[in-house]
Structure 1
Amino acid sequence: MKHLQWLVFVLTVILSAGSLAPVFAAASPSSTQELQAEVEPTIVIGAFWQGGANNSTIYLLNLMADGQEYFWEGGSDGEQVRHSSNVEIDLYVRASGNLANGTNSITLSNLKYADYDAGVEKTAFTTSYVLVKEEWAVPNIGGELVIPVDLYLTVPFATPPGTYVTTIYHAAVQTGSTAPTSP
Structure 2
Amino acid sequence: MGRLIKTLVPALVIFLFSTPVYGATAVQNVTVTVPESVEIVVLWNGTEQGDAFTLTAMVQPGGDYIWQGGPEGLQIKSLSNTPIDLYIKAEGNLQGPETIPIENLKYSNYGINLPETPLTTRYTLVRKNWTAKKEIEAVVPVDIHLTVPPFTAPGEYRVRVYHIAVKSDQ
- Shorter-chain TM-score category? 0.7 to 0.9
Aligned residue runs from structure 1 range 81-92, under 5 A: 81-92=76-87
Are the aligned partners of 1:108 and 1:125 in contact in 2 as well (CA < 8 Å)? yes
2:124 corresponds to? 130
Q: Is the strand fraction higher in 1 or 2?
A: 2
Q: AA paired with 1:124?
A: P
CA distance in 2, matches of 1:138, 1:36: 25
Q: How many percent identity over aligned positions?
A: 35
CA distance in 1, matches of 2:87, 2:63: 27
Question: Relative contact order (C-alpha < 8 Å, sep 6+): which is higher?
Answer: 2
CA distance in 1, matches of 2:24, 2:60: 77
For the pair 1:145 / 2:138, whether they are aligned, the reply is yes
CA distance in 1, matches of 2:116, 2:60: 21
Shift of 1:159: 2.7
Shift of 1:170: 0.8
CA distance in 2, matches of 1:161, 1:175: 42
For the pair 1:172 / 2:168, whether they are aligned, the reply is no
CA distance in 1, matches of 2:146, 2:56: 9
1:154 is matched with which residue: 143, 147, 150? 147
Normalising to structure 2: TM-score of the pair? 0.75
Deviations 1:65-119 (A, max 9, x none): 2x122111111121111112100111111111111237x3111011110111122
Normalising to structure 1: TM-score of the pair? 0.71
Between structure 1 and structure 2, the one with the greater Rg is 1
Q: AA paired with 1:42?
A: S
Return 5+ residue gaps in structure 1 as ranges.
Answer: 1-26, 178-183
Paired residues in the alignment total 149
- Larger deviation, residues 29-38 vs 44-53: 29-38
Q: AA paired with 2:165?
A: A
Are the aligned partners of 2:83 and 2:131 in contact in 1 as well (CA < 8 Å)? yes
Deviations 1:31-84 (A, max 9, x none): 33222222111011111112112347455444222x122111111121111112
2:12 corresponds to? none
Shift of 1:139: 2.3
The alignment's C-alpha RMSD in Å is 2.5
